[in-house]
Structure 1
């Protein structure tokens, strides 16, 4: 049993590319934490919308309470039920993966369209198996949510500390949109984790996470910076990718909590 690796923070991101929610505990499921990236915005051609092109999305803040999700943007708020959706299925792509989704409702799509300034729809993935993602490294196929590739992203505290030692302007782990932050002993040791458990849940490491320009978007104000990719590329670049954090999958369903130990 490890006495070093302990869960420090847990996050979910109900709507892909919007702000996240800090949690004291979360239910781990096959597709990711409950209510994590089950929703996504798509444009008029049903193409996914992310912070890569629309940095203002970081300024939309979700909250979950009593079976409803509320989204706050500036001084405006909109609310919809976790369970509501229209019946007609849509096919969208999350990168190379085809995904079957449904629109939440017309009023919610209209609210996002008005505040983003272009026509869009809020859609939801409902069933396990409505999107499958193949790991090129492990040659395995996973049922996933609307996350970029894998259900969970794990980051160690020492990885963040090591990076911040090199940065003039310090940043928080929120730049990397992790699901689980653990205390660690050395930078990037999470890359080499294999199988481990947290609380009731067994996890398997898939591969380190290649990062994109989105981590340069300051979530506090939606402005694009040069960091941290500029600095990370000096010591975390391989095969034309810059790596930070590691992608993991859960092998069973259960609760994990802040303070739980990571057991190898």
Structure 2
């Protein structure tokens, strides 16, 4: 097929609901890209917390350097080892999915608690199978990370272009927290992809992604606005779900890079 379909951007989000990291390449695993949403924050009741309730979480900026993750918030910075975690497992849920996680360390939990102004802890998912998610459409069950539902989110450039034509204030694709952004010919054609290959990895499309209020949080400043969900709901509302981008799963491990062709 034509080389119209090219990987333009790759993102990982090490800690659920915090800012993402733009990558030139990433290693695809069953649960998602390496180090993508392997960590999240739990409140004092061991319930996961997100930008939906705390939009300021978008202002925490992680970086990965060798064996460490550092997180910057305002004028403060904290780091911890990618490999570290305490020994006792914690039972929690990511939406309806049972999940087993481990606290990273007490000092890291205190840093996040102090920054956010309430007690919370940073936890990590250790291995595939510690959280399983059943697809509502295919009824297949997948080993997943701490992402909302699926290992990867794919968005086509024309989908964003089409939306921006309707918005007074233009937005970037970061509003939608994709893992892979590809150049496309038509808006929302990624919804109809079935099986395809990028770099070393074969992917399967599972279902279009239903969006929530979180896309209204401006990642530049953590301010929640009415757009783009208001406009999207006028033309992308299907059975009371506002769709933008599509959820995919990887069928084998491997590397993908910016510039890779999408092969059907």
Compute the TM-score of the two structures, normalised by the length of structure 2: 1.00
CA distance in 1, matches of 2:11, 2:122: 21
Specify the alignment match of 2:252 in structure 1. 252
Specify the alignment match of 2:121 in structure 1. 121
Give the CA deviation at 1:204. Answer: 0.1
CA distance in 2, matches of 1:25, 1:104: 26
Specify the alignment match of 2:139 in structure 1. 139
Specify the alignment match of 1:220 in structure 2. 220
Q: Is the 8 A contact 1:2 1:261 kept in 2?
A: no
What is the RMSD computed on CA atoms of the aligned residues? 0.4
1:179 aligns with 2:179: yes
Q: Is the 8 A contact 1:2 1:262 kept in 2?
A: no
Give the paired residue count. 264
Q: Is the 8 A contact 1:38 1:125 kept in 2?
A: yes
Specify the alignment match of 2:85 in structure 1. 85
CA distance in 2, matches of 1:156, 1:41: 30
After superposition, where does 1:87-236 map in structure 2 within 5 Å? 87-236=87-236
CA distance in 1, matches of 2:194, 2:126: 30
CA distance in 2, matches of 1:184, 1:208: 16
Q: Deviations over 1:113-160 (max 9, x none)?
A: 000000000000001100000001011000000000000000000000
3-state DSSP of counterpart to 1:215: helix
Specify the alignment match of 2:11 in structure 1. 11
Q: Which runs of 5+ in 1 are unaligned?
A: none
CA distance in 1, matches of 2:241, 2:224: 19
Specify the alignment match of 1:66 in structure 2. 66
3-state DSSP of counterpart to 1:166: coil
Q: Which runs of 5+ in 2 are unaligned?
A: none
Give the CA deviation at 1:2. Answer: 3.4
Specify the alignment match of 2:28 in structure 1. 28
Compute the TM-score of the two structures, normalised by the length of structure 1: 1.00
